Structure 1
Amino acid sequence: MAGDTTITVVGNLTADPELRFTPSGAAVANFTVASTPRIYDRQSGEWKDGEALFLRCNIWREAAENVAESLTRGSRVIVTGRLKQRSFETREGEKRTVVEVEVDEIGPSLRYATAKVNKASRSGGGGG
């Protein structure tokens, strides 16, 4: 979409994806990706973990079901999507704002793993 802020992040799922269905029957999966940069420390001559970035992500429809069936806590993934800001009010009446990723594409990282791809046999929603 024009004007959207797009992002690609590589990281690990912090928990199994949470799959739910809206009242109209649309599937949505929510998950968090932790992306930790590696930083070279010249004094020690070693690579160290930088500060982790935690991004809450959501993906819709058939892709949501595929994510829930395919990925688990610790899975290293590559996520591409659009940053979205959402404001809400807590039960205590406090106003909060969060930034989330509306996922367009997701897949396993093959840097440290292998994967076997199986075409989903579901019918339904279109998309690119």
Structure 2
Amino acid sequence: MLNRVILIGRLTRDPELRYTPAGVAVTQFTLAVDRPFVSSQSKEREADFIPVVTWRQLAETCANYLRKGRLAAVEGRMQVRSYDNNEGRKVYVTEVIADNVRFLESANSANREEGSYSGGSGGGYGGGGSGSGRNTRDQQQDPFLDDGKPIDISDDDLPF
């Protein structure tokens, strides 16, 4: 069985950071994800509004760096939970429990990818930095910087 979700969309509002009674951080936000087709009636692209929940360090990182309107990629699992509301009716909630969030825009939207953070061990925040040093670093990491130009590779560099 597999329960894996990958979404790319824009936040509809700033993330909401809370703490459980045990002191565990939890953040909730909604991601607006465009549908891959245009509505035949209104001739406009429609979107789905998907609730996302993050926990622990990932929750605090999202609350600190994500804002309304920012583009983000979310990886996680779909979860359906239920509770009884004040009227005694059972309410079902479907949400994505994220274990990895990538920030696809910086605060000034000048960069394509700001960084990412994975929840759990082994993950790390990859963003940070600003100014001219940032542009140099991006150029060194851009694998398509010399797109279309020949690459100088000697036979010793090839693994076969």
> For the Cα contact (< 8 Å) 1:4–1:83, is it kept in 2?
no
**Counterpart for residue 9 of structure 1:** 7
**Counterpart for residue 88 of structure 2:** 93
The structure with the greater share of residues assigned to strand is: 1
Match of 2:22 among 17, 21, 24: 24
RMSD of the TM alignment (CA)? 2.6
Q: What is the TM-score with the length of structure 1 in the denominator?
A: 0.77
Which protein has greater RCO, CA pairs closer than 8 Å, 6+ apart?
1
- How far does the alpha carbon of each residue in 1:101-125 deviate from its partner, in whole angstroms, 9 at most, with x for none? 0101001225x75154599xxxxx9
Identity of aligned residues (%): 36
Match of 1:84 among 76, 79, 104: 79
**Counterpart for residue 45 of structure 2:** 49
Aligned residues, how many? Answer: 115
**Counterpart for residue 101 of structure 2:** 106
Structure 2: runs of 5+ lacking an equivalent: 123-160
Q: What is the TM-score with the length of structure 2 in the denominator?
A: 0.63
Cα gap change, 1:113 to 1:68, in 2 (>3 Å): same
Report the Cα distance in structure 2 between the residues aligned to 1:69 and 1:10, rounded to whole angstroms: 19
- How far does the alpha carbon of each residue in 1:18-65 deviate from its partner, in whole angstroms, 9 at most, with x for none? 0011111111111111101253689xxxx8313x11111111111111
When Rg is computed on C-alpha atoms for both structures, the one with the higher figure is 2
The structure with the greater share of residues assigned to helix is: 2
Report the Cα distance in structure 2 between the residues aligned to 1:98 and 1:4, rounded to whole angstroms: 20
Matched, 1:127 2:121: yes
**Counterpart for residue 133 of structure 2:** none
